[in-house]
Amino acid sequence: MVLQIYNTLTRKKEIFTPLKNNLVGLYTCGPTVYHYAHIGNLRTYIFEDILKRVLLYNKFKVKHVMNITNVGHLTSDSDTGEDKMEKGAKREGKSVWQIADFYTKAFMEDIKKLNIIKANIFCKATDYIKEQIELITKLEKKGFTYIIEDGVYFDTSKLKDYGKLAKLDIEGLKAGTRVEFVKGKKNITDFALWKFSPKDKKRQMEWDSPCGKGFPGWHIECSAMSMKFLGETFDIHCGGIDHIPVHHTNEIAQSETATGKKFVNYWMHGEFLNLEKEKMAKSGENFITLSTLEKRDFDPLAYRFFCLSAHYRSSLNFSFEALESAKNGFEKLKNKIWEIKKEKDKVKKEIKEKYREEFLKLINNNLDMPGALALLWDLIKEKEISGKSKLDLILDFDKIFGLNLKDIKEEKIPKEILNLVKQREKARQERNFAESDKLRKLIQEKGYTIEDTKGKPIVKKGV
């Protein structure tokens, strides 16, 4: 069964065919390590992890490269403002190197908690300054650069198909005020390849180059590092949809100009996580981290489960109420799996294969996670399969979901809850139904479900 993915470049779903037989070159834009990743960022990394898992499930080998941006990303995408790393250093009274190291480690901890498979290669922008300067030199020799007071810029007017990924209306941009204009820029869409250090102060991160002392622009790092590890043309490049109009558009421009070849065959982008109809951002109340969720007693994998509820190309509205619902659903799933572990094995091979085929069909249809999750619940309810056979199929599906379902253990019910259950059972026997209902509600408020049976009541975590 073929794998189909949506290609932002062509605006359509396409059959995926790698350049090299069974090997997939995958580049995913990583974090700018001046602060913690927020849960909107993490949703993108979960989507990319699912893509990687689907590729592996389809028997492809994956060479996955992710950048760590630790220099050159300014507070504005239009080459103005302060370097985010310098801003982080000022905020915390540390060096930029300390900031980069601390938040890189924090990012690695986050992806571990979310059960995201690590990239084969994590490359820091500061480790590949030489490659970035070499790429800028190539562009200079081809006549696509010019120098103004604050740096070296790429002349987008010389590239006929500039903006093809975002389908930019260049004339419309000229008439509008979408991009803050840098004094001396020839065209509104031109972008910095190398920024000069300020004359009146020394930066913490700066390097000598043929053009002058300074630091690389944000976009050049991804082109230089992706081509170093994956070649001048590779298979898939991913990121958030906010990267389409500027960052990824500029990557394509500089890469294809330098090599004369197509840069990437398939571009894939994840939609925003919204909070009260606004995208998640590193400012104000919208800055929610994984640590924020943990402090409110949410398992990081419950957040991963929440993200599975929407397709990666659909925006997902976040609220703590919605996450609480996902948490309860995840607890219900774990309880069901524990029950399945205790069942006797029963299987009808044709039904088991039907589920397997349907699952592959769903995940290969541009990573249809909501559909795959619905199929998982259908499987749990299926009467023709039980015990080990059902569990094996569930764990096979979890190679994609990444919920660590194989590690589920029976939850120990706290004594406080058991005492409430005992009190409720006494009230029921005494036909004091008002007290019984009151205790049931209290048990639910504490995060547990009680199920009345002919024997003893069954208590489970989750509501």
Map out the domains of the chain as residue ranges: 4-270, 284-407, 415-461
What's the CATH class of domain 284-407? mainly alpha
Q: Which of 260, 57, 23 is nearest to 159 (CA)?
A: 260
Is 59 in contact with 271 (CB distance < 8 Å)? Answer: no
Q: Does pTM surpass 0.85?
A: yes
Mention every residue, 6+ apart, whose C-beta is less than 8 A from residue 124. Answer: 67, 68, 70, 100, 104
Mention every residue, 6+ apart, whose C-beta is less than 8 A from residue 99. Answer: 33, 34, 85, 88, 89, 92
- 316 bridge partner residues: 273
| pLDDT in single tens digits along all 463 residues of the chain | 899 999 999 999 999 999 998 999 999 999 999 999 999 999 999 999 999 999 999 999 999 999 999 999 988 887 888 889 999 999 999 999 999 999 999 999 999 999 999 999 999 999 999 999 999 999 999 999 999 999 999 999 999 999 999 998 777 665 544 456 688 999 999 999 999 998 887 889 999 999 899 999 999 999 999 999 999 999 999 999 999 999 999 999 999 999 999 999 999 999 999 986 566 665 555 689 999 999 999 999 999 999 999 999 999 999 999 999 999 999 999 999 999 999 999 999 999 999 999 999 999 999 999 999 999 999 999 999 999 999 999 999 999 999 999 988 766 777 787 788 788 888 788 788 788 788 888 888 777 877 777 667 777 776 6
C-alpha distances out from residue 134 to 107, 221, 223, 224, 447, Å? 29, 11, 11, 9, 58
Query: Distance between CA atoms of 8 and 265, rounded to whole angstroms?
Result: 10
Is 66 in contact with 52 (CB distance < 8 Å)? Answer: no
Predicted confidence (pLDDT) per residue in 236-284, tens digit: 999 999 999 999 999 999 999 999 999 999 999 999 999 865 666 655 5
Which H or E run includes 443? helix 433-445
Q: What's domain 4-270's superfamily in CATH? A: HUPs (3.40.50.620)
- Mark out the alpha helices in 25-142 (DSSP H runs): 39-57, 84-92, 96-113, 129-141
